[in-house]
Amino acid sequence: MFFVGAVPAAIFFTLLFFISESPRWLVMVGKLERAKMVIEQFNPGENIEQQMEEITQSIKDGIVDTSISVLFKRPFLKIVLVGITIGMLGALTGINTIMYYAPTIFQSVGFSNDSALFQTLWIGAINLVFTIIGMSLIDRIGRKFLLMAGAIGMSIFLFLIFLTLEFSWFNNYALLAGVWAIRRYSHLQWA
């Protein structure tokens, strides 16, 4: 089962060798020619010298402050606190626990071992699809709406999962639908 996770990790590691450095970082460490090559690669036809000048000027003006203390000062403090709060609420909803123990949860309500693992695979696929949908919607309908819709959907389906596991009010397929829906709403919410 762990090998399944190792395959995408190996692919990700291999693909990292093909990612270029940031032009801003290259300028900061004195690799100007490499920075020009990266700008040309990703912005063909653009005025490279003008972009290099803008990067260099922003570094000289101190616009790029690399110390972590800048995150806890105005104007970034409020943004950082909102981001931390949203991240904490995402973790506190329990979705990570459901994902970690999904095969066990499915087995406890009667699915076979193979079926439980297969359902977890489908949850991962839904995870991917709705992450992409959330990313495509976020700029069109706004983060606030997605956060609100995601929070409402997650609350409803977490409650239904509780009823299914605690009181057996619904059958196994209702649990499966609930877990699938939670993944959908969590990725719309945190996209």
- Indicate whether 137 belongs to any domain: yes
Same domain, 131 and 180: yes
What local confidence, expressed as pLDDT, does residue 186 receive? 59
64, 88, 122 - which closes a domain: 64
Domain that holds residue 179: 70-189
Same domain membership, residue 95 and residue 141: yes
165 shares a domain with 104? yes
Residues 33, 16: Cα–Cα separation, whole Å: 21
Size of the chain, expressed as the number of residues it contains: 191
pLDDT tens-digit series, residues 121-171: 888 888 788 888 888 888 888 888 888 888 888 788 778 777 777 777 666
Are residues 103 and 163 part of one domain?
yes
Please give the single-letter amino acid code of residue 187. H
Q: Mark out the alpha helices in the chain (DSSP H runs).
A: 2-16, 23-28, 32-42, 48-60, 76-92, 95-100, 102-108, 113-141, 143-167, 172-189
Q: Does any domain span residue 5? A: no
| pLDDT of res. 44 | 82
- The least confident of 19-33, 52-66, 76-90 is 52-66
Average pLDDT of the chain, as a whole number = 79
- Distance from C-alpha of 7 to C-alpha of 125, rounded to nearest angstrom: 16
Instruction: Confirm whether 9 is domain-assigned.
Output: no
- Give the CATH number of the domain where residue 34 resides: 1.10.286
Q: Kindly state whether residues 158 and 180 are assigned to the same domain.
A: yes
Q: Does 101 lie in the same domain as 172?
A: yes
For residue 54, being part of any structural domain is answered with yes
Same domain? 53 vs 75: no
Question: What pTM, to 2 d.p., does this model score?
Answer: 0.54
Q: Identify which of 9-23, 84-98, 176-190 has the greatest average pLDDT.
A: 9-23
Are residues 175 and 90 both part of a single domain? yes
Residues 146 and 184 in one domain: yes
For residue 190, the one-letter residue type is: W
Q: What are all long-range contacts of 46-51, with beta carbons under 8 Å and residues at least 24 apart?
A: 51/23
Collapsed DSSP state (helix, strand, coil) of residue 19:
coil
Number of domains in the chain: 2
